[in-house]
Amino acid sequence: MSVLVYIEHADGQIKKTSLEAISFAKGLVDKTGEGDVVAVALGSIESAALAKAGSAGASKVMHDPNDKLSAGVIQAHASAVASAFKQTGAKTVVMAKSSLADAVAARLAIKINAGLVSNVVELPNTDGGYTVKRSIYTGKAFAETSLATENKILAIKKNAADLITDGADAQVEQFDAGVADSDFAAKITSTDRATGDVLLPEADIVVSGGRGLKGPENWGMIEDMAKTLGAATGCSKPVSDIGWRPHHEHVGQTGIKVAPSLYIAVGISGAIQHLAGVNSSKCIVVINKDPEAPFFKAADYGIVGDAFDVVPKLTEALKAE
């Protein structure tokens, strides 16, 4: 039996978080010893880009290229995924948690009569039941949820699965999800793309700045370090509130939640609301002139020093690598 993975794409490529969801699903079929991983992609994207779903563990991608689906209208996506679910005969849908996926999952759960668990952090325990571990209280604790429904939806948290990269290309098949005009009742008239070369929610490395940087004119050194590392830039909430940086860079409980391999925090105190957005990062480096800054307690590596001294030197050293 197939496990269906709802994948998202941007700039003509499958999002990394969706590739992780595919690898999670592959882990699931390997664990139960049955079935394969089928991904469903919606809207305009080249078949060659979709075939790369195979590298992460999918054997097939069902693609409805209807351009109206490119805008990510929630109701339409829920209907399209429900259609793919019925066509594959799958019992489980996996997706990477995102604001779009959260909205789609809730509607999909109604359409396919499924139990839904979000923020899943590891493969379900299927010994004599179906128990799913999920992250709660912005990463401060875990809960175990038992699913009793036959159909299931798992929305996984970033870094919940190790990305598989050695699979062969997936077979890409076009399908018609049969989405009705009434599913497009909400109309997206324009979308603003975040600035910068690397999108913050997807970034593997993030360099973030806080109020310790004193003003927007000092962000050049953050951008220089980010460019050197191929990283996205982020900031603390007050920094975007004051208007030093755009709101889409605001990281934390009330902003973007990131889970990069490396998070570098410069001149950020480490308030609990900021940590809530970064505590799934694999490695945290803190640069702060105050040795008592709370962020050091959450750091894997810390540099006590003046950012205006440390950051340029560190960037020069990285450039020399």
- Catalog residues that contact ligand FAD under the rule CB under 6 A: 210-212, 236-239, 252-255, 267-269, 271, 273-274, 277, 287-290, 293, 306-308
Q: Cβ closer to ligand FAD: 31 or 301?
A: 301
- Which residue minimizes CB distance to ligand FAD? 252
CB of 240 to ligand FAD, least distance (A): 9
Please enumerate, as own/partner, the contacts of 292-295 that have beta carbons within 8 Å and a separation of 24 or more: 293/269, 294/269, 294/270, 295/265, 295/268, 295/269, 295/270
CB of 101 to ligand FAD, least distance (A): 20
Q: Cβ closer to ligand FAD: 44 or 253?
A: 253
CA 230, distance to chain mean position in Å, is 18
Q: Cβ closer to ligand FAD: 94 or 258?
A: 258
Residue that has been written with the tokens 């699979």 in this structure: 167
CB of 85 to ligand FAD, least distance (A): 35
Across the chain, the runs of DSSP E, i.e. the strands, are: 3-6, 9-10, 13-14, 37-42, 60-64, 92-96, 114-120, 131-136, 141-146, 151-156, 171-174, 205-209, 232-235, 262-266, 283-288, 301-304
CB of 175 to ligand FAD, least distance (A): 40
Q: Cβ closer to ligand FAD: 144 or 306?
A: 306
Q: Cβ closer to ligand FAD: 162 or 290?
A: 290
| Other Cβ atoms closer than 10 A to 253 | 15
CB of 95 to ligand FAD, least distance (A): 24
